[in-house]
Amino acid sequence: MSREKVEKIRCDACPVMCFIAEGKIGACDRYANHDGKIIRCDPLTMLDRRLDQGGEITPFLRENWDGSLVNDQDLFVTAVGSGTTYPDYKPAPFIVSRQYDDADFVTVVSEAIFSYCSCKVKIDTDRHLGAEGARVLCKGEVVGLVITSEYGSQMLSLGGVDHLTGGSKSEGRVTCDVMLRLFNREPVELTIEDGATVVVQSGRPPIVNGVAEQRMRVGCGSAAIGMFAAGWQGLVDEVVVVDDHITGVMSEHQAGKVLDWPPTGIKMRGRRSTPGRYFKVAEPGLGWGGTDIDDPLAILGDWNPAKGARAGLTVLMVSTTGENAAYFVLDADLKPQPHPMPDDLRDAVELIADNCEPALCTVLFMGGAGGSLRAGVTRNPVALTRSVHDFKTTVTLGGQKAYVWPGGGITVMVDVADMPEGSFGSVPTPAIVAPLEFTVRRDDYAALGGHTDAVRDLRDVLEKGGEYGADMRAVAPRDKE
């Protein structure tokens, strides 16, 4: 019995150029063959700003639009679900004219294919995740590296064209998958070379070696001394705030000097910086204040009676988040002995914790809009670049305004937490697909060589959909978290 040959059609929405059979979806899970036509499977998404200033996400679908007039100022057409400009010689899928403050604007909408893109991750924790420059791995493949720590946060840079295209096929696929899941606010487990394992998810606490982080430090050890010195005065004779970077010592610190805090004869290990500030009191780790210690006494030397040490002197040692704290009293041999912490001093420690913000992960998309992509906006791509840097054209991703890096090109960065859920996709080249919108006054758009013949008004977009179909846009986007 002979089998009937299944007719396939070619999709040109990305460089893979899949041949797709009737009723099937391409390798990207974004485009399908429906009745012999390539259609986009997800709905075109608009932001409806009538409900709140943040903008509720509202799908406008051919099936449920009642035909009523719309206010251009209330609605913003995003590129989520719009389709792509690939192979880039054609105008963007939607070039929409809309009125705003009595001016005519054009928004050019396209889902852009980014080979040149990366993921910047800010992880609020004092825990030592790994050395600067250490490789970050997922499923055994290198997907990025640890970059410079910032105040209260560890930073990762993931992805980039070298990992996507410059290594093995497996490295490229895993890297693309990691970025896609992080951009779509899903959890990803990462392993840092000679360091920790951390689960990262946008807007959620990091999970370091299986333990969820709770607090972001209020300041380094020195800053904590300055902020809380007055509240500790009269409750304890000495305070040490343990920190991997800058450990603070009350009696030596300038804050203590201003309060006439008496010397205690304390001896610190590590490298003294300025009075009351010490570097490298221990190695980095997952212990107190991001050090590798579990016993805070390990950073102390012998107490000096000639400089104020005496039996009965009280000492509070605390971490930068207040998560770790211990109270000691010097015995007759000037050795610190653990004692129950007085209630009033415990309240002072809790004040540190109360001033800590919740520890979260922040995921930023960063990418460069290349020359071929810009061709979907204008016949003269460099004119678009100049218009962006002259602040005549606004760049958004999923309706959220992007930070545009200075210098050449159009390099953008945006917090994915502010974007509609499921905004990002991928293609198997591998590359990330991200929604990109350019908004410019209509007369300026004409001046920069824009595709003015392809401009449509908002009502026409609602009625007819776009190149990749309207009838199949009957699947509403997932609810925003």
Q: Quickly list DSSP for 192-206.
A: ETTS-EEEE-BTS--
Q: Do 381 and 410 lie in a common domain?
A: yes
Q: Do 460 and 447 lie in a common domain?
A: yes
Give a yes or no: residue 398 inside a domain.
Answer: yes
Q: Do 121 and 110 lie in a common domain?
A: no
Q: Is residue 52 pLDDT above 80, yes or no?
A: no
Alpha-carbon gap, residue 233 to 230, rounded angstroms:
5
CA distances from 439 to 54, 322, 458 (A): 19, 47, 14
Q: Is residue 87 pLDDT above 90, yes or no?
A: no
Query: Each residue of 245-275: pLDDT tens digit?
Result: 999 999 999 999 999 999 999 999 999 999 9
pLDDT score for 30:
81
Domain boundary among 213, 237, 262: 213
Q: Give the residue, 476 or 46, on which the prediction is more confident.
A: 46
pLDDT score for 270:
93
Alpha-carbon gap, residue 384 to 110, rounded angstroms:
15
Alpha-carbon gap, residue 136 to 126, rounded angstroms:
18
Q: Is residue 70 pLDDT above 70, yes or no?
A: no
Total Cβ atoms within 10 A of residue 1: 2
Q: Do 346 and 374 lie in a common domain?
A: no
pLDDT tier, 5 (very low <50, low <70, confident <90, very high otherwise): low
Q: Is the dihedral of CA 284, 287, 289, 295 positive or negative?
A: negative
pLDDT score for 384:
94
Query: Each residue of 154-191: pLDDT tens digit?
Result: 999 999 999 999 999 999 999 999 999 999 999 999 99
pLDDT score for 27:
82
Residue 162 backbone dihedrals phi, psi, to 5 degrees: -65, -40
Q: Do 242 and 302 lie in a common domain?
A: yes
Give a yes or no: residue 359 inside a domain.
Answer: no
What is the per-residue burial (b if ≥16 Cβ within 10 Å, else e) of 368-406?
bbbeebbbbbbeebebbbebbbeeebbbbbbbbebebee
Q: Do 278 and 251 lie in a common domain?
A: yes
Q: Is residue 44 pLDDT above 50, yes or no?
A: yes
Q: Do 126 and 206 lie in a common domain?
A: yes
pLDDT tier, 29 (very low <50, low <70, confident <90, very high otherwise): confident
pLDDT score for 475:
33
pLDDT score for 473:
38
Q: Give the residue, 127 or 34, on which the prediction is more confident.
A: 127
Give a yes or no: residue 52 inside a domain.
Answer: yes
Give a yes or no: residue 285 inside a domain.
Answer: yes
Q: What are the residues whose beta carbons fall under 8 Å from the beta carbon of 162, sequence distance 6 or more?
A: none
Query: Each residue of 320-333: pLDDT tens digit?
Result: 999 999 999 999 99
Domain of 12 in residue numbering reads as: 8-40
Mean pLDDT along residues 441-470: 85
Among 467, 466, 480, 463, which Cα is nearest to 64's?
463
Domain boundary among 157, 184, 213: 213
Average pLDDT, the chain: 89
Q: Do 236 and 323 lie in a common domain?
A: yes
Give a yes or no: residue 1 inside a domain.
Answer: no
Q: Do 105 and 181 lie in a common domain?
A: no
Give a yes or no: residue 363 inside a domain.
Answer: no
Q: Helix 221-232 to helix 343-354 angle, to the nearest 10 degrees? A: 140
Q: Do 375 and 315 lie in a common domain?
A: no
* Amino acid occupying residue 51: L
Cβ distance 435 to 421 under 8 Å?
no
Task: Name the strands in the sheet holding 75-77, side by side, starting at the edge strand that comes first in the sequence.
Answer: 56-59, 45-48, 75-77
Give a yes or no: residue 474 inside a domain.
Answer: no
Q: Do 161 and 195 lie in a common domain?
A: yes
pLDDT score for 28:
82
**What's the token pair of residue 216?**
């972001």
Q: Is residue 64 pLDDT above 60, yes or no?
A: no
pLDDT tier, 72 (very low <50, low <70, confident <90, very high otherwise): low
Q: What percentage of the chain reaches a pLDDT higher than 90?
A: 70
Query: Each residue of 187-234: pLDDT tens digit?
Result: 999 999 999 999 999 999 999 999 999 999 999 999 999 999 999 999
pLDDT score for 59:
47
Q: Do 34 and 64 lie in a common domain?
A: no
pLDDT score for 3:
53
This prediction's pTM: 0.89
Give a yes or no: residue 476 inside a domain.
Answer: no
Query: Number of folded domains in the chain?
Result: 4
In the block, tokens 């805070």 appear at 296
pLDDT score for 247:
97
